[in-house]
Structure 1
Amino acid sequence: MGMQSVAVACGALTLCLALTTATNPGFVVRITQAGLDYAQEQAIASLEKKLAQLKLPDISGDSRVLRVGKVHYELSRLRLRDFHLPYSRITPISNKGLQVSISNAFAELDGDWRVKFLFIRDHGSFDLRVENIYIKILLRLGSDTSGKPTISTPDCSAHISKVRVLFSGKLGWLYNLFHSVIERRLRKILEDKVCDKVAMSVYNELQTYIRTLPVTARIDDKIGIDYSLVAPPRATAQSLDADLKGEFYSLGHRSPVPFSPLPLAFPSDHERMVYFGASSYFFNTAGIAYHEAGALVFEITEAMIPKDVEFKLNTSVFSAFIPQLEEKYPNMPMKFRASTPTAPFLTVGEGGISFQPIVDVQAYAILPNSSLAPLFLLSLTGNVSAVINVRSGRIVGSLDVGRIRLSLKDSAVGTFQVRMMQSLINILTSSTLLPRLNARLDEGFPLPLLDRIQLSNILVRFHQNFLLLGADVRFQPRR
């Protein structure tokens, strides 16, 4: 094989590897046009205040006036009284970013003037109204090495089509003779200042704000969620999409996930301002993380059984099914330790979230000296379904367990028919284990939200391979 052929083969292999290692997101955030419009309203209100604080420089120069000659003028203490941006629109532009268009803006200023020509000096005040201001801003979205979003303004243009200035004072009429010269200078200064202020606001405020999107969210002292961007946010004709890693991990030891997220066939819903797509990968990494952290181990003692359940967790009760217990460990309290030999694997489909976990339940007798004597090891499995909702910016849920199937894996007290204790295991599961799991799920897991964003009008839908959450948003200003 020639060198050229080797190069072609290596290139093809590199391309194939690049394609096969492309990272699909485990979690997707979509901001619809309605969401962009709301964000724009908040940003424009802030920009309006910033533009009203523009500091304008003093202006001076010479101008020749017919039948008067050369006139030296000075404009000082220029003050912006207000700056209004009544009409604006934000538009996602594919492969570029977001374009903000502002039209028919206007501003009002006042200031002082001073004039000198021949041997005459005078001064006074003036009012200025700037109308038909058109501003176009391109916002480019990206991500840094930590996976946080970035934003910049590669392009900003401002055009003022109308400036009206009215001078007062004894020689105000003189200024009005060469107002066009002054208006041109004021127009140029304002156009430059507007874009400077836009760039500064984007860098100092908008950039700072969007970086409040959490890259990681700590769940407890064992588990975290990775919400870092796997690619820069991308604009489409109808929305802005952000692809996040969407991966739970153990804080003690983070090991690679043994499978990859599948592509999400995100629907074109637009009823809500924002949508979250949580893939089956997202939920399954939760199972792996909790399993690796040793958090899926539960002990059941009699003290945990609700008082309204007429059930004693001791060898006397179980000796009805295992006669050997009464002989070896008469009337002794018992303890169960439930654990998962492998991480549970969930499936997400149009019918919801379901899985069939395998739980090992080791039974012990608690001896008079408080040591534990192993009795038997059961394997439990059954159909489990999950109900999902959103509350206070967190994904919350609860589990419902169907019929539990038992099998005996090991026994230190001889063989016995496990089906005889089916009802007792059901009581233990429904009264102790399930409530503990549901209490944890009710605490929820945080969604990737910017600071001071509140969700309302929640929508929950299940699709093949992912859960779709929709919501409207409201920005809560600081008090």
Structure 2
Amino acid sequence: MGAQSLAMACGALALCLALTGAANPGVVVRITQAGLDYAHQQAITILEKELAQLKLKDISGDSRIRHVGKVHYEISRLSLRSFHLPHSRISLVPGVGLQVSISNAFAEVDGNWRVKLLFIRDHGSFHLKVENVYIKVNLKLSSNGSGKPTISSSNCNTRISRVRVRFSGRLGWLYNLFHSTIESRFRKLLESKVCEVVASSVRKNLQPYLQTLPVTARIDATAGIDYSLVAPPTATAQSLDVDLKGEFFSLAHRSAVPFSPPPLALPPDHDRMVYFGVSSYFFNTAGFTYQAAGALVFEITDSLIPKGFDFHLNTTTFSAFIPQLDKMYPDMPMKLRLSAPSAPFLSIGPKGLSLRPVVDIQAYAILPNSSLVPLFLLSLTGNVSAVVDVKSGHVAGSLQVGRMKLSLKHSDVGTFQVRMLQSIMNIFSSSILLPNLNERLNQGFPLPLPDRIQLSNILVRFYQNFLLLGADVQYQPR
């Protein structure tokens, strides 16, 4: 390969790497130490119950005691009465994931014993206390091919500092002579079993629960949201960050979005358990998806005019502003078809959310045979601000319209003064269009939450190019 070919190949490779690695998330979920502590409490409760159900196998062997001889013993019907984890903590390990450390755990075991010494045989019961149990396990976080988070345990270590066993029965004194042998075997048995239970609990409980995090969320018949992970979760010294695609898509035909998400850098806030950084990209993919699907269309007829208004949507009303309508189409009902010629673009800044939508208003006369005759086409632009709220795990909103500007794009009924229509169009927009839009926006869209999680103590803040939602969480068991 020549130098030029090599340079071109290296350049192409660099470009491919840049394209594949440069995608910014549309949504970032940040779990703070407080959030991890809460999740840890729930998980420890489950682990404690599973350890209390630990099954231990029988133990048997021979032990030689000075001045007594060889003793054959059997320990059977081992029953773990309790396993308590009073002190534990979860910590972030940058670049790795999470680490759970448990200290001063303790357990109690009951069982039966049987002994054979020369011609002597006896049996009885025993009680064993396991104290100062230390457990340390790393939790590795990643993602699978479908974009869902995964978790697995690694580097599990269990250390038991103290085991005390007491035997009852006629020859209980004999067992107490070689208790160190029995205690050593119990210690090794429990140390290996505890890590097995921890790994099993992660597989059976944590991993399936993480799978309840929605990768996609259906919004309506037109669109859904892609919440798949774009990278494995990242642990830092302060938090666990999960980067999500955060993109609306058409259910009928998914196409590439013609713009990219901006960088999203969350502030170092840690007052809440979880934070959601929602990029302007997320909202703008919604506008793109609905506009491309032809869903940003709204038709107004006379039946939609609220009661109490002293006019009707017909050519008689509009002839006050366009006199020629009375001659061309006398006393005929009208229809206004509002549509977005381009996707609305929302901006987020420290002062809030705003957008300047462009709306085409096509006016029709409805003939006696119900056919439509185009009258004129107007363009409406205005300043719109948005109010955001979080309800039951959904982000809801409402729009407030500011100053609007009307212009004529085309007329089939001759020239007329557009400014004369400004007031009546304001009424149509504020009294009919806006309430319908806000009714839909009030339904909101779901945040990416795993099963049975409720949000509380919610805050909403605005930053350049993204909206920050903070909340505490509560797990609702079945």
What TM-score, normalized to structure 2? 0.98
Query: Aligned partners of 1:196 and 1:356: how far apart in 2?
Result: 59
Please state if 1:263 is matched with 2:276: no
Aligned to 1:119: 119
Aligned residue runs from structure 1 range 117-266, under 5 A:
117-266=117-266
Deviation of 1:238 (Å): 0.7
Aligned to 2:285: 285
Cα 1:314/1:9, change in 2 over 3 Å: closer
Cα 1:364/1:4, change in 2 over 3 Å: closer
Aligned residue runs from structure 1 range 19-418, under 5 A:
19-21=18-20, 22-418=22-418
Deviation of 1:143 (Å): 0.4
| 1:450-476 deviation per Cα after TM superposition (whole angstroms, max 9, x unaligned) | 000000000100000100000000000
Query: Aligned partners of 1:5 and 1:160: how far apart in 2?
Result: 65
Residue identity opposite 1:34 in structure 2 = A
Query: Aligned partners of 2:154 and 2:104: how far apart in 1?
Result: 23
SS at match of 2:272: coil
Q: Which moved more, 1:329-338 or 1:467-476?
A: 329-338
Query: Aligned partners of 1:309 and 1:327: how far apart in 2?
Result: 25
Deviation of 1:12 (Å): 4.6
Query: Aligned partners of 2:15 and 2:330: how far apart in 1?
Result: 67
Query: Aligned partners of 2:19 and 2:370: how far apart in 1?
Result: 56
SS at match of 1:326: helix
Residue identity opposite 2:91 in structure 1 = T
Q: How many residues align?
A: 477
Deviation of 1:10 (Å): 2.8
Query: Aligned partners of 2:290 and 2:117: how far apart in 1?
Result: 84
Deviation of 1:3 (Å): 3.5
Query: Aligned partners of 2:272 and 2:66: how far apart in 1?
Result: 64
Query: Aligned partners of 2:311 and 2:87: how far apart in 1?
Result: 70
Query: Aligned partners of 1:441 and 1:144: how far apart in 2?
Result: 33
Structure 1 stretches of 5 or more lacking a match? none
Query: Aligned partners of 2:309 and 2:97: how far apart in 1?
Result: 60
SS at match of 1:263: coil
Q: Structure 1 runs of 4+ off > 6 angstroms? A: none
Aligned residue runs from structure 1 range 432-471, under 5 A:
432-471=432-471
Please state if 1:10 is matched with 2:6: no
Query: Aligned partners of 1:308 and 1:28: how far apart in 2?
Result: 47
Cα 1:14/1:409, change in 2 over 3 Å: same
Deviation of 1:60 (Å): 0.5
Q: Which moved more, 1:298-307 or 1:445-454?
A: 298-307
Residue identity opposite 1:170 in structure 2 = R
Aligned-residue Cα RMSD (Å) equals 1.1
Identity of aligned residues (%): 70
Deviation of 1:303 (Å): 1.4
Q: Which moved more, 1:362-371 or 1:416-425?
A: 362-371
| 1:197-220 deviation per Cα after TM superposition (whole angstroms, max 9, x unaligned) | 111110111000001010000001
Residue identity opposite 1:390 in structure 2 = V
Query: Aligned partners of 2:308 and 2:166: how far apart in 1?
Result: 86
Query: Aligned partners of 2:158 and 2:116: how far apart in 1?
Result: 33
Query: Aligned partners of 2:155 and 2:262: how far apart in 1?
Result: 36
Residue identity opposite 1:115 in structure 2 = V
Cα 1:379/1:5, change in 2 over 3 Å: closer
Residue identity opposite 1:215 in structure 2 = V
SS at match of 2:67: coil
Query: Aligned partners of 1:68 and 1:78: how far apart in 2?
Result: 27
SS at match of 1:390: strand
Residue identity opposite 1:273 in structure 2 = M
SS at match of 1:283: helix
Deviation of 1:17 (Å): 3.7
Cα 1:7/1:309, change in 2 over 3 Å: same
Residue identity opposite 1:362 in structure 2 = Q
